[in-house]
Amino acid sequence: MKFHTSTKIAEHVSGCLQLAILLEVSAYPKPGNIHRTADFQETKYEHFLASAVAVAPHFKFAAEQGISVSAGKISPHEIEIGNTIKNTVMNVSAWQSGGNTLLGSIILLSPIAVAAGMILADRSFSLVKLRKKMKVVVESSTPMDAVAVYDAIKTAKPSGLGKAPKLDVTDSASRQKILEDKVTLFEVFKIASGYDSIASEWVNNFPVTFDLGYPYFAQQLDETKDVNTATVHTFLRILSEVPDTLIARKVGLTKAKEVSAQAKQVLKAGGLATSSGRHSLWKLDEKLKDPLHQLNPGTTADITAAVLAISILNGYKP
């Protein structure tokens, strides 16, 4: 794909990530999550649509920062990925009234946006190059990036935070300690990686996204020729292999593993491809929708959005 201006590159990247968000939230039924046929009482499908609009200028800016790195205008340490995450979350909050919709997705998609800008500026694209540049982006983060992400989390007010053993985001002293000890965002996520899959993706170069989710999504697209089926099955595959850490933080790892086992059974029954699989899938969707959302596999949804993002950047069109 050829682009004639940096603006066109950045707009293309932003559009790809917006589409990923829209396809992810629209896929149905993703058990325990909001989708086009299911809302939560306080957060609805339309809140996610509004959120997808809100992210556009900030993902465009992230891609522009990547282009600037490629041109030698700024160093990777000057990308300000933390501010991108913070500003995106703030704009999402300004555009809709349904609470936290995309915090995890924004954290995952922001380095993808920067890295895509970096390599598309060189007039080439491959997932191998994208992943290498993403590694550069996250490892170049700064203490100021960490503080900005803490501010983003404070704005989003996500459920299931719990208490961290070190540099807890709800502790007002954490920000000062981060700056005094010069703890980068990458290092903060390294601390959190043992109990949060999004942090783990950041510090381990996105293994679930690239090594598990993407090849399975591509296979499912090839087999089913249907993006909804491919997305739901990819969500189930990730959930079956990686217990959802949002569920684990709310009700414990044992319960999260039980949900993973149930997702595996749905896939074994054929998922959306068979009548018994569809029956099992809808039953699981109903079972996981408890009033307190304790069984909501929200982290799995965020990683599924990242899988869709790299697929679309790599040329997939619905």
310 located within any domain: no
151 & 247 share domain? no
Average pLDDT over every residue of 279-294: 91
Q: What is the pLDDT of residue 163?
A: 62
77 & 140 share domain? yes
166 located within any domain: yes
Among 209, 238, 273, which residue terminates a domain?
209
271 & 203 share domain? no
Over pLDDT 90: what percentage of the chain? Answer: 86
20 & 154 share domain? yes
Residue 30's pLDDT band, with cuts at 50, 70 and 90, is: very high
Among 192, 209, 226, which residue terminates a domain?
209
Residue type, 243: P
94 located within any domain: yes
265 & 194 share domain? no
Residue 10's pLDDT band, with cuts at 50, 70 and 90, is: very high
Helix and strand tally (H, E) in the chain?
17, 0
> Token pair for residue 269?
């029954």
Q: What is the pLDDT of residue 176?
A: 87
Residue 2's pLDDT band, with cuts at 50, 70 and 90, is: low
121 & 203 share domain? yes
Helix residue spans in 44-102 (DSSP H): 45-54, 56-70, 81-95
CB 189 within 8 A of CB 217: no
Number of other CB atoms surrounding residue 2 within 10 Å? 6
The per-residue pLDDT of the chain, averaged, comes to: 94
Q: Which of 67, 109, 101 is nearest to 84 (CA)?
A: 109
27 & 16 share domain? yes
57 located within any domain: yes
Residue 44's pLDDT band, with cuts at 50, 70 and 90, is: very high
Give the CATH number of the domain where residue 23 resides.
Answer: 1.10.4200
Q: What is the pLDDT of residue 170?
A: 72
Residue 129's pLDDT band, with cuts at 50, 70 and 90, is: very high
> Token pair for residue 275?
């009548």
Region for residue 204 given its phi and psi (left: phi exceeds 0; alpha: psi -120 to 50; beta: otherwise): alpha
Residue 293's pLDDT band, with cuts at 50, 70 and 90, is: confident
138 located within any domain: yes
- Which range is least confidently modeled, 35-39, 126-130, 226-230? 35-39
Average pLDDT over every residue of 90-102: 95
pLDDT at 91 over 60: yes
304 located within any domain: no
Q: Which helix (H) or strand (E) element contains residue 232?
A: helix 227-241
pTM for this structure? Answer: 0.95
Total domains in the fold of the chain: 2
Contacts with 265 (C-beta within 8 Å, 6 or more apart), sequence order = 280
161 & 84 share domain? yes
308 located within any domain: no
Average pLDDT over every residue of 37-53: 94
How many CA atoms lie within 13 Å of 141's alpha carbon, on the beta-carbon side? Answer: 32
pLDDT at 164 over 80: no
278 located within any domain: yes
11 & 65 share domain? yes
Residue 81 belongs to what domain range? 6-209
Q: What is the pLDDT of residue 257?
A: 98
Q: Report which DSSP code applies to 76.
A: G
